[in-house]
């Protein structure tokens, strides 16, 4: 299946694409790999992608000659040299003869391109090492080993374009997730490699900063390029936001979009992936017309599903480019987002609620979640996260206890709270003080009790499956959903009454950076909500004003 948005127009748009393709095939080479150093040949699908990506507004339009799309996304399966494709387009942007900007019309009415003035191309990935190994590394090889090597000066962290006098006239830089160091940069092209890996707060901030830099050079028509593979739904990654926007464009919900997006996958719901022949057909569909790079390649990829312990969802994600939750992801985020998300909805003041509290004082995060007993709407009332800073010492941060207690007091005052279920480890004394203050409302609920926790988690999933629970909030909504997507699962050696294995929450793959305390607090709050309903709990009667009886 091929998703291309926006779809084709009845009348083709003017494009600089043919000139871009000519430059690549005339002056660029293959990056590191089996064909490294050989002249690059553009396959038909990539050629069509380039033509669409470089469309410009037609003659007579108020924006004549400007880029139609300020953002361009390419999402294809693993192994299709997508990173090299990003490097090639960055090469065109950096090249002193790169026809990447509009410079008028020729006699036939076709747009003519020119190089951008003093290009600045930050290439962002999860770490500097990843940038150097992926897109930046491919670009470095292309400029160093290609026929125009004398036009550039490259090092491990920057590639400089040289002018006729041998002086710097623009550059591409390897950039990790440090937004502050590039704040203020006058960018002409942003490159985001593997954006499905950009989901932590500091990475999202880096993306936000880089995106905010684009309007600083309006005369140079700057733009962004996103190249990668499908990620895990619910993580809130840069790739996921782009993919959701593309889906909305396809559904006609966004008028005059500035995003062009090509997504190739196999999404046949009837595909039986337990059958190897079906897997081979799925891989062929996700690959597209370019086909196998060598005899038996698809068969070799399909064999990965047969290995003991193979993670099927992971294989579907990387080889079929499906948005699939990882095998150890606790919740099906496709059901939660956008189906159960109610961004902006809040529990009204005085609402009859339950609370869930979980967290660590020194590591990870601490969270407080409310659930409306009447509607099932949940809201994240408080979240205290350890900053994602690699230079921060493990013992250098602690949750502000006074802030947490203030949030609990506010909830107890603002709402009619039936019960608060709090996981006491790390907060034993504090939870005890709350219980002393609100003895009928605060209860300890130990999540370390494996079997009760597993059945509570099953009840929570049943609520998601049935749509009985929804997730609201305003400023805290995205953090709430992120924590739900971060939650992992650990399968237990015990089964439920139907013979199905039970599981509990844990970090995904031991990833310390994936905080999920708001998810655990959500589960506890929902458990308290169910207990309230089972007991027939009712909100307390409002205290009436005395009146005189005559």
Is residue 295 domain-shared with residue 229, that is, in the same domain?
no
Tell me whether residue 381 is in a domain. Answer: yes
Is residue 435 domain-shared with residue 515, that is, in the same domain?
yes
Tell me whether residue 546 is in a domain. Answer: no
Is residue 41 domain-shared with residue 179, that is, in the same domain?
yes
Is residue 199 domain-shared with residue 348, that is, in the same domain?
no
Predicted pLDDT of residue 144: 97
Tell me whether residue 508 is in a domain. Answer: yes
Predicted pLDDT of residue 266: 94
3-state DSSP percent of the chain in helix, strand and coil, to 5: 35, 20, 45
Exposure class string for 517-538: b at 16+ Cβ within 10 A, else e: bbbbbbbbbbbbbbbbeeeebe
Is residue 322 domain-shared with residue 351, that is, in the same domain?
no
Q: Which of 528, 523, 522, 533 is nearest to 420 (CA)?
A: 528
Task: Quote the Cα angle for 243-245-246, to 5°.
Answer: 65
Beta bridge partner(s), residue 185: none
Is residue 378 domain-shared with residue 487, that is, in the same domain?
yes
Residues of the chain with pLDDT under 50: 179, 181, 183, 390-392
CA gap 505, 517 in Å, rounded: 10
E-strand ranges in 377-415 read 377-385
Tell me whether residue 549 is in a domain. Answer: no
Q: Which of 43, 521, 6 is nearest to 254 (CA)?
A: 6
Is residue 253 domain-shared with residue 300, that is, in the same domain?
no
Q: What is the mean pLDDT of the chain?
A: 91
Tell me whether residue 547 is in a domain. Answer: no
**HSE on the CB side for 208, CA within 13 Å?**
9
* CA R_g for the chain: 27
Tell me whether residue 543 is in a domain. Answer: no
3-state secondary structure of 58: coil
Is residue 61 domain-shared with residue 190, that is, in the same domain?
yes
Is residue 114 domain-shared with residue 204, that is, in the same domain?
yes
The pTM score is 0.73
Predicted pLDDT of residue 131: 56
Tell me whether residue 250 is in a domain. Answer: yes
Backbone angles phi, psi at 250, to 5 degrees: -60, -30
Q: Which of 475, 485, 470 is nearest to 341 (CA)?
A: 470
The CATH code of the domain that includes 179 is 3.40.50.300
Is residue 221 domain-shared with residue 343, that is, in the same domain?
no
The CATH code of the domain that includes 524 is 3.30.420.240
Predicted pLDDT of residue 390: 44
Backbone angles phi, psi at 489, to 5 degrees: -130, 145
CB-CB contact of 77 with 125 (8 Å): no
Predicted pLDDT of residue 242: 96
Is residue 155 domain-shared with residue 96, that is, in the same domain?
yes
Backbone angles phi, psi at 543, to 5 degrees: -75, 120
User: In what order do the strands lie in the sheet containing 223-228?
Assistant: 2-5, 259-264, 71-75, 223-228, 189-193, 120-124, 168-175, 158-162, 152-154
Predicted pLDDT of residue 129: 58
Tell me whether residue 545 is in a domain. Answer: no
**Tally of domains in the chain:** 3
Is residue 209 domain-shared with residue 237, that is, in the same domain?
yes
Enclosing domain of residue 316: 276-327
């Amino acid at each position: 299946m091929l998703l291309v948005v926006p779809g084709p127009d009845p009348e083709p748009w003017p494009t600089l694409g043919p000139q871009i393709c000519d430059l690549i095939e005339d002056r660029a080479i293959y990056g590191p790999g089996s064909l490294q150093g050989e002249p690059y040949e553009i396959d038909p699908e990539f050629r069509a992608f380039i033509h669409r990506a470089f469309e410009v507004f037609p003659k007579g339009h108020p924006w004549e000659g400007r880029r139609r799309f300020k953002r361009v996304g390419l999402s294809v399966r693993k192994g299709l040299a997508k990173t090299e494709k990003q490097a090639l387009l960055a090469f065109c942007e950096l090249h002193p003869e790169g026809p990447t900007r509009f410079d008028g019309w020729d006699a036939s009415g076709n747009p003519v391109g020119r190089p951008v003035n003093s290009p600045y191309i930050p290439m962002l990935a999860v770490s500097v090492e990843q940038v150097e190994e992926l897109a930046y590394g491919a670009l470095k090889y292309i400029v160093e080993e290609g026929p125009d090597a004398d036009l550039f000066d490259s090092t491990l962290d920057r590639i400089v374009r040289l002018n006729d006098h041998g002086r710097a006239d623009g550059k591409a830089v390897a950039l990790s997730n440090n937004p502050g160091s590039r704040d203020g940069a006058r960018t002409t092209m942003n490159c985001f490699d593997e954006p499905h890996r950009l989901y932590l707060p500091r990475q999202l901030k880096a993306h936000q900063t880089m995106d905010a830099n684009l309007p600083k050079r309006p005369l140079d028509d700057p733009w962004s390029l996103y190249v990668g593979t499908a990620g895990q739904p619910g993580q809130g990654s840069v790739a996921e936001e782009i993919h959701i926007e593309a889906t909305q464009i396809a559904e006609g919900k966004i008028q005059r979009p500035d995003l062009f997006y090509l997504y190739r996958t196999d999404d046949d719901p009837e595909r039986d992936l337990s059958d190897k022949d079906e897997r081979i057909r799925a891989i062929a569909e996700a690959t597209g017309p370019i086909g196998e790079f060598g005899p038996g390649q698809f068969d070799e990829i399909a064999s990965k599903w047969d290995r003991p312990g193979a993670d099927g969802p992971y294989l579907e994600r990387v080889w079929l480019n499906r948005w699939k939750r990882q095998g150890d992801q606790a919740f099906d985020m496709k059901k939660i987002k956008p189906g159960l998300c109610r961004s902006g909805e809040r529990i009204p003041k005085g609402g009859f609620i339950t609370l869930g509290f979980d967290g660590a004082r020194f590591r990870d995060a601490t969270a407080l979640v409310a659930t409306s007993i009447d509607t099932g709407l949940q809201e994240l009332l408080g979240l205290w996260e350890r900053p994602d800073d690699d230079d921060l010492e493990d013992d250098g941060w602690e949750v502000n206890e006074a802030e947490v207690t203030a949030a609990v007091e506010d909830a107890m005052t603002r709402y009619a709270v039936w019960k608060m279920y709090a996981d006491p480890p790390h907060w034993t004394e504090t939870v005890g003080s709350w219980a002393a203050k609100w003895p009928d409302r605060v209860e300890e609920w130990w999540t370390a009790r494996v079997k009760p926790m597993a059945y509570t988690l099953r009840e929570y999933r049943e609520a998601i499956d049935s749509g009985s629970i929804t997730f609201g909030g305003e400023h805290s909504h995205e953090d709430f959903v992120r924590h739900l997507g971060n939650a992992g699962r650990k399968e237990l050696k015990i089964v439920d009454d139907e013979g199905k294995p039970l599981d509990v929450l844990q970090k995904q793959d031991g990833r310390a950076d994936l905080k999920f305390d708001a998810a655990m607090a959500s589960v506890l709050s929902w458990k308290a909500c169910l207990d309230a309903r089972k007991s027939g709990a009712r909100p307390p009667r409002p205290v009436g004003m005395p009146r005189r009886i005559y």
